[in-house]
Amino acid sequence: MKKTAAWLAVYALEEIGVQYTFGIPGVHNTELYDELNNSKKITPILVTHEGSASFMADALSRVSEGIGTLAIVPAAGLTHAASGIGEAFLDGIAMLVISGGIRTDSDKHYQLHEIDQLELAKPITKAAFRVMRHEDVVPTIFSAYRIATSGEPGPVLVELPVNLQLFPGDVGGELPRWQPAANAPFKDEEGIRRAVELLQAAKRPGLFLGWGARRAIPETAAIAEWLQAPVATTLQGLASFPADHPLHAGFSFGPAAVPAARNAFKDCDCLLSVGTRFGEIATGSFGVKVPAMLIHADINPAVFDVNYPAEVKLEGDAREILAALLAELQKRERSPVDSSLQAAIARDKQAYVSEWLAHDSRGRVNPGRFFAELRRQAADDAITVVDDGNHTYLTAELFALRRGGRLIVPTDFNAMGYATPAAIGAKLAQPAREVFAIVGDGAFMMSCMEIVTAATHHLGIVYYVFHDGELSQIAQAQEIPYNRKPCSILGRVNLEGVALATGAACVAMNDDGDIIAAITEARSIAAKGKPVIVDIAIDYSKRTAFTQGAVKTNFRRFPLRERLRMVARAVTRKITG
């Protein structure tokens, strides 16, 4: 049997259940796109930029059981997509990158797009393959999928040379069928026993949950209730525990956390951490105090003992580990309900929200009032897509994610421009669910033209754009030490013009009086299948707890001489103007 690599690639993608590919056709993959066009199972999505394609693929993987898949040209297509591939790599998100490749049947050099893509992909993928024979196309894509989805997930590149795509080659008889491999069950009974002994011996145990714990909410809730332990999450893990649970304390738990989490974890003497690496953002620039009795559970053993030493290390799937922990706990004595802890968390949360609601936003939109109304109107199971910036931490601190809700955010790679295209990937993956993006104007300007794709496919997504004219997270960091904001003041952008150019509607939110009507109108338009840009005149004058805490933590770590130098410079510039 003779088949082209393009035909074989589409066959393999159909076998593993791919529904969408994202990318742009070029001379090295036109044959692949022609075969994708023939597919009755896969819809190729044309994007305006391959960076957007990779963010869409990332989002699809985050909110569904499918795998985000790119179909891109080599060289420039790969480098454009690298931000989203790198984001997926550092955040642990499965992705398939199907790239064209230069001709391997030619002795000519300096071909168009000639670059060693496998070397280029090494730092941002779990693996990279170049297929040299037709009979290897299907097995290689199957292997790439297995690598991308096993262990800690991540992106895998498969390069298909254009000559293999164009010209048929012999692949033998019957093609292989996809056979999913069963994961080895978790069996560390001794580790579970030791972990439970530590938790029961502790006076103030706590839970810290990351992205890896997102599918284990029933188990984590049961463990928290059994122990009467407060629960904090990482930024990426915000939806790993419902914010309306009485033991939910908030994002992080150190000096950069909201008061409810800071207070609930103040005397924590045993920490059960699940699905987190204790990275810089999760720990508020490594400002958290991690107790010696640390139980660290993760699917990737390479994360153990890197930043904080663990007393007990549990390698495996979070849900299996937590189910085993719960079963062992239930053989022991249950902690009585700690009504004082729950009351303190509720009181601290309300006080923090009230502080924001009382803030004078001087005629602009108060973030606390915006998020309170958004929470009142939005569906509990809505998908919230957030970009990188000051709005990220406002969302983390002021928008309560209830059970069933999802939040996706670029975390460790921290790529700005993520939310606008990622919301498209999320809506394609979950068309029946409400999808909206929270994005700063700087991040929005990086990829806003991708709304053309949302309009083309009639995707009702609301883009809440926090419009203040600055790269506010950086501008706030510059303001005190430098008394100026170099290169963080944006050029003026007319968001109504962006909406007109991309086929979206535009709704203005100029002050607090517009909040209810603007959100209502935007959601109504989106429900009819049209993207909406909400131009929000946001007030950023009040700092988030994260910003204040992270700045202080970083400053305290500087050598004394450097601290004195920076204070002296700030004071001098303040006096002299």
What is 86-104 written as a DSSP string? HHHHHHT--EEEEEEE--S
Under the banding of pLDDT at 50, 70 and 90, the label for residue 448 is very high
Given a contact cutoff of 8 angstroms between Cβ atoms, the answer to whether 64 and 429 are in contact is yes
Q: What is the pLDDT of residue 307?
A: 96
Q: 366 and 501 share a domain?
A: yes
Q: What is the pLDDT of residues 174-219, one digit of tens each?
A: 999 999 888 788 889 999 999 999 999 999 999 999 999 999 999 9
DSSP 538: B
Quick check: is 116 in a domain? yes
Q: Choose among 70, 99, 79: nearest CA to 161.
A: 99
Compute the average pLDDT of residues 237-265.
Answer: 97
| Helix residue ranges, H only, 234-281 | 259-264
Under the banding of pLDDT at 50, 70 and 90, the label for residue 152 is very high
Q: Choose among 221, 207, 225, 307: nearest CA to 261.
A: 207
Q: What is the pLDDT of residues 329-370, one digit of tens each?
A: 999 989 898 899 999 999 999 999 999 999 999 999 999 999
Q: What is the pLDDT of residue 478?
A: 80
**Which range marks the domain in which residue 414 is found?**
359-546
Under the banding of pLDDT at 50, 70 and 90, the label for residue 477 is confident
CATH code at 326?
Answer: 3.40.50.1220
Q: 451 and 530 share a domain?
A: yes
CA distance 536 to 522: 12
Q: What is the pLDDT of residue 485?
A: 84
- On the 0-12 / 13-18 / 19+ scale of CB atoms within 10 A, 556 is exposed
Q: Identify the domain boundary among 139, 170, 201.
A: 170
Q: What is the pLDDT of residue 175?
A: 95
Q: 453 and 528 share a domain?
A: yes
Q: What is the pLDDT of residue 474?
A: 82
- E strand or H helix at 462: strand 462-466
Under the banding of pLDDT at 50, 70 and 90, the label for residue 567 is confident
Phi, psi dihedral angles at 517 (to 5 degrees): -65, -40
CA distance 186 to 421: 37
Q: What is the pLDDT of residue 14?
A: 98
Residue 455: pLDDT over 90? yes
Compute the average pLDDT of residues 476-483.
Answer: 79
Cβ contacts of residue 528 below 8 Å, gap of 6+?
A: 460
Number of Cβ within a 10 Å radius of residue 327? 12
Given a contact cutoff of 8 angstroms between Cβ atoms, the answer to whether 119 and 82 are in contact is no
- On the 0-12 / 13-18 / 19+ scale of CB atoms within 10 A, 198 is buried
Quick check: is 554 in a domain? no
- Amino acid at residue number 538: I
Q: Identify the domain boundary among 284, 319, 343.
A: 343
Q: What is the pLDDT of residue 480?
A: 75
Q: Identify the domain boundary among 288, 312, 343.
A: 343
Q: What is the pLDDT of residue 571?
A: 83
Quick check: is 569 in a domain? no
Quick check: is 574 in a domain? no
Quick check: is 239 in a domain? yes
Q: 212 and 258 share a domain?
A: yes
CA distance 307 to 3: 51
Q: What is the pLDDT of residue 32?
A: 98
CA distance 57 to 73: 16
Q: What is the pLDDT of residue 183?
A: 79
Residue 483: pLDDT over 80? no
Query: What's the distance, Cα to Cα, between the start and end of the chain in Å?
Result: 78
Q: Is 110 or 118 the better-scoring residue by pLDDT?
A: 118
Q: 10 and 38 share a domain?
A: yes
What total of structural domains would you count in the chain?
Answer: 3
| Helix residue ranges, H only, 494-559 | 495-502, 515-526, 545-557
Residue 277: pLDDT over 90? yes
Q: What is the pLDDT of residue 442?
A: 96
pTM here is 0.96
Q: What is the mean pLDDT of the chain?
A: 95
Quick check: is 19 in a domain? yes
CA distance 456 to 46: 10
Residue 53: pLDDT over 90? yes
Beta-ladder partners of 452: none
Average the pLDDT over each of 125-134, 333-342, 400-409, 471-480 and give the range with the smallest value: 471-480
Residue 432: pLDDT over 90? yes
Q: 141 and 233 share a domain?
A: no
Q: Choose among 341, 321, 317: nearest CA to 329.
A: 321
CA distance 377 to 519: 8
Quick check: is 150 in a domain? yes
Q: 74 and 44 share a domain?
A: yes
CA distance 436 to 178: 35
Q: 368 and 495 share a domain?
A: yes
Number of Cβ within a 10 Å radius of residue 362? 9
Q: What is the pLDDT of residue 316?
A: 96
CA distance 535 to 149: 38
Q: What is the pLDDT of residue 10?
A: 98
Quick check: is 559 in a domain? no
Q: 146 and 204 share a domain?
A: no
Q: What is the pLDDT of residue 576?
A: 84
Residue 470: pLDDT over 90? no
According to DSSP, the β-strands at 95-101 and 169-170 are unpaired
Q: 265 and 328 share a domain?
A: yes
Q: 369 and 455 share a domain?
A: yes
Q: What is the pLDDT of residues 75-94, one digit of tens each?
A: 999 999 999 999 999 999 99
Q: 279 and 379 share a domain?
A: no
Q: Distance from CA of residue 131 to its chain's centroid? A: 31
Residue 577: pLDDT over 80? no
Whole-number Cα distances in Å, 43 to 10, 67, 237, 404: 11, 13, 30, 27
CATH code at 508?
Answer: 3.40.50.970
